[in-house]
């Protein structure tokens, strides 16, 4: 008799359950930049940046612990404050931006590691090569004081090996370090 009572209750619970709709956060393109740093001649870092063309975050949790994030940066927008160097970086033996115009990332994992801290993993595509990377992110959620819309900001950091992505593989490490550090600062507005 108990089984007969439990089964209808279980069926009602399953069919009345509604999934929590996911929130989508869109890129605030005026407050987004992907920066990089690489060591030159083993003595000083050269810094540069790329423009982020697209990015969004989708999450159903208030703390972003189940988020999916993606971004696309314009490889040809590389800017190191030196036009000659920037033109060299766009050439085939470096970034080859005519053939590979974008840098892309889409997370497969977005795990909370601490207070407003996350480990974000997924495939990064650079110079036509895709490799899985894990990045560190720090996020802040707030409200725009002008229109009271929900906003979120993330600082994402990571390190890759340029040779793993086929970027200037014949350039010795004494001239350009293999290690390239990335920092992305991105603001989002809740749709």
What pLDDT was estimated at residue 47? 97
What pLDDT was estimated at residue 10? 46
Model pLDDT for residues 45-63, shown as the tens digit of each residue = 999 999 999 999 998 877 7
The whole-number mean pLDDT for each consecutive block of 10 residues of the chain, a chain of 191 residues, reads: 51 48 84 94 95 92 85 96 96 94 95 93 96 94 88 94 94 94 93 81
Domains of the chain, CATH where assigned:
20-190 (2.40.128.110)
Instruction: Assess contact for 121 and 135: CB atoms under 8 A.
Output: yes
Q: Which of 90, 135, 81 is nearest to 108 (CA)?
A: 135
Q: State the chain's mean pLDDT as an integer.
A: 88
């Amino acid at each position: 008799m108990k089984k007969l009572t439990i089964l209808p209750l279980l069926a009602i619970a399953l069919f009345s359950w509604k999934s929590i709709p996911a929130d989508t956060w869109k890129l605030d393109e005026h407050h987004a930049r992907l920066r990089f740093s690489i060591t030159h001649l083993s003595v000083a870092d050269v810094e540069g940046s790329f423009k982020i063309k697209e990015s969004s975050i989708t999450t159903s949790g208030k703390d972003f612990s189940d988020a999916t994030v993606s971004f696309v940066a314009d490889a040809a927008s590389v800017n190191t404050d030196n036009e000659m160097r920037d033109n060299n970086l766009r050439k085939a033996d470096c970034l080859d931006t005519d053939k590979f115009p974008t840098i892309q990332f889409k997370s497969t994992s977005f795990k909370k590691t601490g207070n407003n801290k996350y480990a974000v993993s997924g495939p990064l595509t650079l110079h036509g090569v895709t490799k899985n990377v894990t990045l560190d992110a720090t996020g802040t959620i707030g409200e725009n004081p002008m229109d009271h819309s929900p906003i979120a900001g993330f600082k994402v950091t990571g390190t890759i090996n340029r040779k793993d992505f086929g970027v200037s593989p014949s350039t010795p490490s004494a001239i350009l370090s293999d290690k390239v550090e990335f920092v992305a600062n991105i603001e989002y507005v809740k749709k």
